[in-house]
Amino acid sequence: MGNVPENVRPAVELDPWLEPFAAVLSERRELADKWAGDIRGSLGAGREHTLAAFARDGYQQFGLHADARTKEIRYREWAPNAQRAFLVGDFNGWNTESHELTQRDQYGVFSTTIAPLASGDFAIPHDSRIKVLLVLGDGTQLYRLPAWITRATQPDKETARQYGPSYEARFWNPPTQYEFRHARPRFSRDLDSLRIYEAHIGISSPEPKVASYRDFTANVLPKIRELGYDAIQLMAIMEHAYYASFGYQVTNFFAISSRYGTPEDLKELVDTAHGMGLLVLLDVVHSHASKNVEDGLNRFDGSDHQYFHSLLSRRGEHPLWDSRLFNYGSFEVLRFLLSNLAFYVDIYHFDGFRFDGVTSMLYNHHGVGAGGAFSGDYNEYLSKERSDVDHEALAYLMLANDLVRELLPESGVTIAEDVSGYPTLCLPRASGGAGFDYRLAMALPDMWIKLLKEKSDDDWEMGNIVHTLTNRRHGEKVVAYAESHDQALVGDKTLAFWLMDAAMYTDMTVLKPLTPVVDRGIALHKLIRLITHTLGGEAYLNFEGNEFGHPEWLDFPNVNNHDSYHYARRQFNLVDDHLLRYRHLYNFDKAMQLCERQFKWLNTPQAYISLKHEVDKVIAFERNGHLFIFNFHPTQSFADYRIGVERSGSYRIVLNSDRPEFGGHNRIDEDNSKFFTTDLRWNNRSNYIQVYIPTRTALILALDN
């Protein structure tokens, strides 16, 4: 490896197949490192030269800021295509001349300071409506929501009738600011497990309504804690005018969604979660932005290329999402996006980010069409001739990871939603990687759905299941999941629906005999989730409601369903009804999370698989010193089944999917089940034990101390 550049040598030593592409990897790292140097150098003498200082400087200087001591209000806005700018709103009767931003620098940054009233009060009342009026060179006037606004709300019906449905900017300056009481939970990226509960605030109620931050704090946080998760991933927090976009068409990046409540309500939610020991991650959307002009960033200053690539190029618009694409090579765009991350860490105390649409960011083809058919050939990612990587977007992602490390050096978490398998994405920046902690294991839910759709139980291939669950890059961690919000959406089906379909409406009551469909569905739902949890990655994710097999899909109110909220909710009440079998799946999910908390297999080296028996449909493996046994056979139970195990001693059952509280048949006498190793090699292991493993049952065994 004499010709490998030093700045990527650790990555190449970990994966020697990268050696032919070491120069490309080095160039990509050098671009991010150069940008980081330029950013630090821009801060001037006497400043802390860090990405964190740069990012914080952005949100602290741009937008509207109230000085509690002087009662002055500062406002700063970047609009290079504008010649003049005015602040208008309720406070000045929407006067278009009274409050001009008289200072304009060479980069098109406008600023002003608004003095207090004669009474000594702020000139702009808290929560009053405001806009910025931009005047272009030809005299055109544009009314815009300030780009860095921290509060935007839906107009009332009368305003919407007269002026349209566009969101309204609000000057958020409450007389009493929320004070955080709880410290962030301690978390080690190297040692601690990450069990993530993915949630959407608005649907987090059994009632057909938009739930609030306060609803979530009072009713859902206790459930998440009880279930044993240690992190929450909140979706659809950044303001989005169209509710049915699931939060992925962001209009106001620094404003949290007002449909759920106030900024103070969200702060209380995060603070309460921290008090429960839960990390809180933000599903951040920096891959694209809403096309909305009236209440978004699109054509903010009249040009089509201020925050985004020009529409004259293929880089300015996503071909499938009908959205605008950021120009990551622009210094001011870097300021905006990096500041956005720092803002959510500092102001709302988020503990990290799940970056949406990373595949779209990484490639100029955005993962669409023939360019998105990734085979795993390294040339698709790293060849100068064949790859179509957006080097500027990749450099931004590297800087974003650097920033999170600076802001939260001990505990910050970053997760990439990438389906392409880009090599080195989840290696440390210092090693030559992009710096993410994890990527989502997006092939896993596809595998399970494909099996349920296309194959009978007898035809499930144990080898293929194991291969898909373990097929990840050495040294790069993944978040395993059997299904996420994607599989819950209308047009698709959750695993529970694939397994039980209409029987979920008629046969889930314990007052009726257990039907074969529901019996199979509950059993396989448990096995699929447990083997994904134990074998599929270094972290685990569940979408809210799926832990108990939520019986319906997710469909937001829209014109096609007559604006109904019937399917835009999670029916947690089903778990509380002890006459329904949903509680059995809930109980199992809780036991699974708590078992991992005690015995730990996530964030440990990959499992050693000792058995993939295609006829018996049995899979066995060891991870972190524990033994995992799965019997997927639809009809056959096995007595005294021989399982190889490396460590000798006495083993006991610590989790058994066949327990009655999990909807099982209680076929194993756990009180009298102790398994002693025999000193004879079996399946490439130094010892073996013999166990009774009923049909469609999973066991976790641990050594007695």
Give the C-alpha separation, 233 to 281, whole Å: 5
* Catalytic residue list contains 356: yes
CB neighbour burial string for 692-702, b if at least 16 within 10 angstroms, e if fewer:
bbbbbbbbbbb
Could you tell me the two tokens for 116? 């207090």
- Distance of alpha carbon 332 from the chain centroid: 25
Other Cβ atoms within 10 Å of 579 Cβ, number: 9
What DSSP string runs through 581-617?
A: THHHHHHHHHHHHHHHHHH--TTSPPPEEEEEETTTT
- The angle at the Cα of 249, spanning 569 to 338, to the nearest 5 degrees, equals 115
How many CA within 13 A on the CB side of residue 676? 1
Asked if 75 and 66 touch (Cβ cutoff 8 Å), the reply is: no
Residue 521 region by backbone torsions, left for phi larger than 0, else alpha for psi between -120 and 50, else beta: alpha
Grouping H, G, I as helix, E, B as strand and the rest as coil, residue 200 is strand
CA dihedral of 361, 365, 369, 371, whole degrees rounded to 10: -100
Smallest Cα–Cα separation from 381: which of 400, 397, 359? 359
Asked if 541 and 479 touch (Cβ cutoff 8 Å), the reply is: yes
- Options 317, 356, 418, 538, the catalytic residue: 356
Could you tell me the two tokens for 263? 């900024």
* Catalytic residue list contains 417: yes
CB neighbour burial string for 545-560, b if at least 16 within 10 angstroms, e if fewer:
bbbbbbbbebbbbeee
Could you tell me the two tokens for 526? 């448990």
Which spans in 202-330 are helix H?
213-215, 221-227, 263-275
Smallest Cα–Cα separation from 288: which of 363, 206, 356, 199? 356
Other Cβ atoms within 10 Å of 95 Cβ, number: 13
- Options 271, 417, 437, 538, the catalytic residue: 417
Which amino acids are annotated catalytic? 356, 417
